Amino acid sequence: MKKLIKRYAAFIILLILNIAIVIFFPSIGMSSVKITWDNTLEMLSVVPPIFILLGLLDVWVSKESMIKIMGEKSKYIGIAIAFLLGSAAAGPLYAAFPVAGMLMKKGSKFSNVLIFIGAWSTTKVPMLLFEASSMGWKFTLLRLGIDLFVIAAIAYITEKLMKKDEIAELYERAENMD
């Protein structure tokens, strides 16, 4: 029971806060409840497909294959695949983290996982197309080129600045994901 409460502590606290706001400030509280409900529905529409994708990735792609294409010795192919996976992905950024955990569990290089998250957040294909139609191709391609360089630089700098035991702990957590 303690483990369950600890796991859902943030949810329980937010639920209590929402109830208190509804009681003491009804108009603000109802607005808060509506926003919370809308966000919950949005999350429920995104999370199940992501977990189906994770299940398929877990079953269909062996750890050895993932290490070969995105592992420590993958070099430019791993970087390119990380960018492509992140750019082709759909959904909000919070959906990227379970996928990143699965990539780590399968043996992807840490910097490739960071590149994947960076690409998911800034280089999605639909976003680029919208941006190109609004701002023009010159701006879009310039921003994309800068993003690719900066994402890779941040990933490698982060990997170098983090201690090996910190990275190992993240991989251990990914391995124990349920």
Name the residue range of residue 114's domain.
Answer: 61-175
Structure tokens at 120: 């998911």
Q: Are 21 and 84 contained in the same domain? A: no
For the residues 102-128, what does the mean pLDDT come to? 93
- For the cut 90, the answer to whether the pLDDT of residue 75 exceeds it is no
Contacts of 82 (CB under 8 A, 6+ apart): 70, 108, 112, 113, 115, 116, 119
DSSP per-residue string spanning 55-93: HHHHHHS-HHHHHHHHSTT-HHHHHHHHHHHHHH--S-G
Q: Are 70 and 150 contained in the same domain? A: yes
pLDDT in tens, 121-175: 999 888 899 999 999 999 999 999 999 999 999 999 999 999 999 999 999 998 8
52 belongs to a structural domain:
no
Q: Residue 178's pLDDT band (boundaries 50, 70, 90)?
A: low
Q: Are 65 and 115 contained in the same domain? A: yes
List the single range of 5-19, 38-52, 129-143, 147-161 with lowest mean pLDDT: 38-52
Residues in the chain: 178
Q: Are 20 and 90 contained in the same domain? A: no
List the single range of 11-15, 48-52, 156-160 with lowest mean pLDDT: 48-52
Handedness of CA 121, 126, 129, 134 (dihedral sign): negative
Q: Are 41 and 65 contained in the same domain? A: no
Q: Are 34 and 75 contained in the same domain? A: no
Q: Are 94 and 142 contained in the same domain? A: yes
Q: Are 124 and 96 contained in the same domain? A: yes
Domain count, the chain: 2
Say if residues 166 and 158 touch (Cβ distance below 8 Å).
Answer: no
Q: Are 89 and 159 contained in the same domain? A: yes
Say if residues 144 and 177 touch (Cβ distance below 8 Å).
Answer: no
pLDDT at 166: 95
53 belongs to a structural domain:
no
Structure tokens at 137: 């191709």
80 belongs to a structural domain:
yes
Find which of 4-18, 52-66, 77-91, 151-165 is predicted with most confidence, using mean pLDDT: 151-165
The HSE-up count of residue 56 (CA atoms within 13 Å, CB side) is 6
Residue whose entry in the numeric block shows the structure tokens 């800068």: 146
Amino acid at position 172, single letter: E
Report how far residue 50's alpha carbon sits from residue 96's, in angstroms, rounded to the nearest whole number: 9
Q: Are 41 and 67 contained in the same domain? A: no
Q: Residue 58's pLDDT band (boundaries 50, 70, 90)?
A: confident
For the residues 59-69, what does the mean pLDDT come to? 85
